[in-house]
Amino acid sequence: MGSRDLRRIYAIDVETWTVVKETDASGIPWAAVSTDGIIRFTIGEDPEDDRYLHSYVPASGFGEDRIACPEFTGSYLSFDGDHLYLSQWYKHRILKLDASGDILRIINIGAEICGHAFVDGLIYVLRGREQPNEDWCIARLDPRQVTPEVQDLARVPFACRSLTFDGANFWTNHRAANEIVSFAQPH
Cα three-residue angle 90-91-97, rounded to 5 degrees? 120
Q: What pLDDT digit, counting tens, does each position of 115-138 carry?
A: 999 999 999 999 999 999 999 999
Q: At 91, is the secondary structure helix, strand, or coil?
A: helix
Whole-number Å distance between alpha carbons of 123 and 78: 9
Q: What radius of gyration do the chain's Cα atoms show? A: 16
Exposed e or buried b per residue across 109-122, where buried means at least 16 C-beta atoms within 10 angstroms of its C-beta: bebbbbbbbbeeeb
Task: Let me know: does 56 contact 47? Beta carbons within 8 Å.
Answer: no
Whole-prediction pTM value?
0.95
Q: What pLDDT digit, counting tens, does each position of 73-115 carry?
A: 999 999 999 999 999 999 999 999 999 999 999 999 999 999 9
Banded model confidence at residue 185, pLDDT cuts 50, 70, 90: confident
